[in-house]
Amino acid sequence: MAGNDMLRSMQIVFPVATQIQMDIIDRYGFPADGDGLIRFTQAVKVYEKQDEEIAQLNYELRTTMIPALTVQVPNGEQDGT
């Protein structure tokens, strides 16, 4: 996927994913806002250390929602080192 396509996709995916998360976390006692998302994310990080299944599910969610960024360097350019 070209960089512009990825950016365009993320501009669509992130707001929708964020809204879905806020709707769901509200059912589990977290505020349905940005602060609630932060608190939920912090809680997941704590539980990841305690439960391999939670760690795996969170990894799968992250890799689905945030694909790896591939940067192509034009031939002949060096990184300056």
- The 10s digit of each residue's pLDDT in 16-35 is 888 999 999 999 999 999 99
Measured distance CA(81)–CA(79) in Å, rounded? 6
pLDDT at 2 (0 to 100): 53
Number of continuous H segments (helices) and E segments (strands) in the chain: 3, 0
- For 24-39, b where at least 16 C-beta lie within 10 A, e where not — what string? ebeeeebeeeeebbee
Please check whether residue 37 is in contact with residue 21, taking contact to mean a CB–CB distance below 8 angstroms: yes
pTM score, two decimals? Answer: 0.67
